[in-house]
């Protein structure tokens, strides 16, 4: 018998518990940089050196961080469900925890891609954490961070919408439901599909939404509660 399809939409809140900061925690500043200077298409055109420097620092920080219990709980759920993770986060903590199906909406910090060909992507590793505007890939392309900047389209959003539409259960973890198009995924759920929303400060827009069970808690605490809800029914 096929396992039910459990689709997760994760945001900054799940990574914050691993010590990864977000610009929204500081009123539009990200590590003291105005976010549009380091995370927008215009910012990259104006000052690519600054943008490369910024993401070099994010990578150096990321490799010192580790998956937390919320990431690990999602892996545990694979024993009972086909778990699909859609994340707004650019870190690799879901993968490092062991999640087998992860779709990144906003790019991946540990990868770089061609400036001229968005489909040509190369991985980075511990020995190669830094890039510059002069960095070239293996085939000679000038490279940039593999990040979906503000003002750029989100290439994986249609696949994410398909995953959500096919979900038997949909879970939102650690997101303000304010960043589109990711925030709109909850509207793609088929009527009657159970939805769980985990966040210590749930978005008012989700309160009272039909079919939504709000778990007001951090990602780690909320995942403990979610496992208590979901797993007994599967045993």
**Residues with catalytic annotation?**
106
Residues contacting 78, CB < 8 A, separation 6+: 99, 100
The backbone torsions φ and ψ at residue 75, rounded to the nearest 5 degrees and listed phi first, read -65, -40
Structure tokens at 177: 């439901």
Prior bond to 181 cis, omega within 30? Answer: yes
Tokens 């973890």 found at: 173
- Cα 24 to Cα 37: distance, rounded to the nearest angstrom: 15
């Amino acid at each position: 018998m096929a396992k039910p399809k459990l689709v997760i939409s994760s945001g900054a809140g799940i990574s914050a518990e691993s010590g990864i900061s977000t610009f929204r925690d500081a009123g539009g500043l990200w590590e003291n940089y105005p976010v549009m200077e380091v995370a927008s298409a215009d910012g990259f055109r104006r000052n690519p050196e600054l943008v490369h420097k910024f993401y070099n620092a994010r990578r150096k920080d990321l490799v010192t961080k580790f998956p937390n219990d919320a990431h690990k709980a999602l892996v545990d759920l694979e024993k009972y469900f086909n778990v699909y993770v859609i994340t707004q986060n650019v870190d690799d903590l879901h993968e490092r925890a062991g999640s087998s199906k992860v779709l990144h909406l906003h790019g991946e910090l540990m990868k770089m891609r061609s400036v001229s060909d968005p489909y040509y992507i190369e991985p980075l590793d511990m020995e190669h954490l830094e890039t510059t505007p002069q960095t070239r890939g293996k085939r000679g392309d000038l490279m940039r961070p593999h990040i979906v900047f503000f003002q750029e389209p989100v290439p994986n959003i249609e696949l994410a919408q398909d995953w959500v539409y096919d979900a038997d259960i949909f879970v939102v973890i650690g997101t303000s439901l304010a960043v589109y198009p990711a925030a709109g995924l909850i509207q793609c759920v088929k009527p009657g599909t159970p939805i769980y929303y985990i966040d210590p400060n749930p978005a008012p827009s989700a309160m009272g939404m039909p079919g939504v069970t709000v778990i007001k808690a951090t990602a780690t605490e909320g995942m403990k509660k979610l496992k208590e809800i979901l797993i007994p029914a599967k045993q």
